[in-house]
Structure 1
Amino acid sequence: MRKLYLYAPALKKYETDYLNSENGWKMVSVTGIACAFNCDHCNRRILEGMEDASTKEKMKNVLEKVIKEGHKGLILSGGSSVRGEVPIWRYSDLLSNYANKLTFIAHTGVVRNPEIAEKFAKAGVKIALLDMVGDNETIRDVLKQPFTVDDYLNSFKYLKSAGIKIAPHVIVGLSKKGIDGDLHAIELLKEVNPDTVIIVGLMPLVGTRNTRQPTPQELITALKKARDEFSVPVMLGCARPRGSAYLEVDRFAVDYDIDGIAFPEEEVIPYARNKREIIFSNACCGNVIFDVLGVI
């Protein structure tokens, strides 16, 4: 079986006898808590938990801090502009000065043209994180965005053409069409030759609307399809429902040769160690691309 990578970045407090997030890669928002959209499943709440890097001075302070603390990477994120992308490119000149010291993994948002993709590349972004949505109804009614499925697919194509690795996320529970819509999103990724496929699950947040938490079986079904369809690394990502009912999802990931799990349930770690070679990491789980390739 493949090596199993277990990740714990500093996105939340996570502590087990085997791995904790205290020294994990940090996530910063280049827009603070601002976003041009107000998606039902987020309502800007996710931005509240990110470190503020909404000015050049704040960004520089973060960069110096993470290097001083010995981190090897940083997760760049934030709210979307009206065009769809997260405006990380505003700090291209600053970020490019640190690109030889840190691996930048970025939530890019929707990338509408090759020129914007090149701006991300100029900033030193090595891996792009972007959700894949498989139907226009969900984009319109849940995400409240004026985009289409083709806009999402083209985003990945533009980013790949700019030399950036792509790590599509499929959010199980997001589609208005239920699990069939989520599985269709995975199917569509064949068009873009992803460098990894990351499966996550919708977690209804306080203050959000029209959200559906996926069942454990739905998450398992999505993981199985991703593993069956793709030879690239497949991840069980960080955002997903927790609790005893979902332990079977982590166990399935171990048994079905999924390449990695972010924030694994503690009970699953000894189970996994009896079956596979384990690699612990404090990186963003998107870094599984470079971990599997053995490069930085």
Structure 2
Amino acid sequence: MKNSIHFVKMENTKSLSLTGNYCYLNCKHCNKHYLNNMITIKDIDKISNMSSILLSGGMNDEIKVPVYNFVEILQEYKNKYNFKYNLHTGFMNYNELEKIKAISDAISFDLVGNKETMINVYGIDKFENMWSTFDNLIKLDFKVKPHITIGLNGGKLTHEKDAINRLKKYDIDEIIFLVFIPTKGSAFENENPPKIEEVVEIFEYAKEKIENIKLTLGCMHPKGKYRKELQENLLYIADKIVQPVQNTIELAKKMNFNITWSYECCVF
């Protein structure tokens, strides 16, 4: 019986959009909604008390987050405040990735398991570009943490096992699973999140298929009753749970779990 869990509270990491609220894509699960809650680079001095920053943003027309245009100023802030940077990259090429290597402490990289799901959700076919970027991140020895959104395709399971099967060939130590959130203003706003048993099934599938893999429930998963029940069900299989609710913490204590804590983005 598994008897340890790592809990993460996102207190010391701030999300920053390098593109403001601009994104070339209007993906069905997001439609730029999450960009509105991020600070921009002009606000960075105001968060000097943070220990790390998620450098994100919308995609440009090449389906890249243009981190490479900001390397100099980001390096200055890194030196000034000793920030750690977790980066979203989009589908950069090898040379672009080389440019950002010096400032990168971690890469959060979203993976889609098949082309059909990508086309339906993102509205583009950049499937091979996505996997070649992931290949190059591994080759260049980035600390890359693959993210898979369970139910990405409007709450339906359509790509998750394909993504896990493809990850088997890589030397990775952790998969971070997100769970689809019906988001106001997006094409999928009236869809439901995947059933909790379906999420558990994907976690179990990953454990079975990839030896010694650590599994994390990342920060993006539905709130309320769903979150409470999901975390309760994943306590016995996840290695790490981000933003645990009080019920999850109490349950872990009651079950005599060995509990450890950290307070910034779960990739660190």
TM-score (norm 2): 0.89
Kept after mapping to 1: 8 A contact 2:155/2:180 = no
- 169-178 or 209-218, larger mean C-alpha shift: 169-178
Specify the alignment match of 2:223 in structure 1: 242
Specify the alignment match of 2:259 in structure 1: 278
1:79 to 46, 52, 58: 58
Specify the alignment match of 2:145 in structure 1: 167
- 180-189 or 201-210, larger mean C-alpha shift: 180-189
Specify the alignment match of 2:109 in structure 1: 130
AA aligned to 1:87 is: P
2:35 to 24, 47, 50: 47
Counterparts in 2 of 1:133 and 1:281: CA distance versus 1, 3 Å:
same
1:157 to 125, 128, 135: 135
Counterparts in 2 of 1:187 and 1:259: CA distance versus 1, 3 Å:
same
State the shift of 1:212 in Å: 4.7
Kept after mapping to 1: 8 A contact 2:155/2:193 = no
AA aligned to 1:279 is: T
Counterparts in 2 of 1:195 and 1:117: CA distance versus 1, 3 Å:
farther
Distance in 2 (alpha carbons) for counterparts of 1:182 and 1:226: 9
State the shift of 1:206 in Å: 1.0
Counterparts in 2 of 1:250 and 1:161: CA distance versus 1, 3 Å:
same
The equivalences for 1:208-219 within 5 A come to 208-210=186-188, 211-219=191-199
Distance in 2 (alpha carbons) for counterparts of 1:136 and 1:158: 20
Distance in 1 (alpha carbons) for counterparts of 2:60 and 2:257: 43
SS state of the match for residue 285, structure 1?
coil
Distance in 1 (alpha carbons) for counterparts of 2:78 and 2:139: 19
State the shift of 1:45 in Å: 0.7
Kept after mapping to 2: 8 A contact 1:223/1:236 = no
Ranked by relative contact order (alpha carbons within 8 Å, sequence separation 6 or more), the top structure is 2
TM-score (norm 1): 0.81
How many residue pairs were aligned? 261
Kept after mapping to 1: 8 A contact 2:155/2:194 = no
SS state of the match for residue 197, structure 2?
helix
Counterparts in 2 of 1:208 and 1:49: CA distance versus 1, 3 Å:
same
- 245-254 or 263-272, larger mean C-alpha shift: 245-254
2:84 to 97, 103, 113: 103
AA aligned to 2:207 is: R
Unaligned stretches of 5+ residues in structure 1: 10-22, 288-296
Counterparts in 2 of 1:48 and 1:245: CA distance versus 1, 3 Å:
closer
RMSD of Structure 2 on Structure 1 (CA) = 2.1
Counterparts in 2 of 1:180 and 1:206: CA distance versus 1, 3 Å:
closer
Distance in 2 (alpha carbons) for counterparts of 1:153 and 1:193: 15
Which digits, 9 at most, give the CA deviation of each residue in 1:85-129, with x for residues without a partner? 211121111222344612110111122x2112112213x112111
AA aligned to 1:109 is: G
Specify the alignment match of 2:22 in structure 1: 34
Task: Calculate percent identity across the aligned residue pairs.
Answer: 26
AA aligned to 2:67 is: I
Specify the alignment match of 2:94 in structure 1: 114
State the shift of 1:276 in Å: 2.1
SS state of the match for residue 13, structure 2?
coil
Specify the alignment match of 1:4 in structure 2: 5
Counterparts in 2 of 1:2 and 1:87: CA distance versus 1, 3 Å:
farther
Kept after mapping to 2: 8 A contact 1:118/1:159 = no
Kept after mapping to 2: 8 A contact 1:174/1:212 = no
Unaligned stretches of 5+ residues in structure 2: none
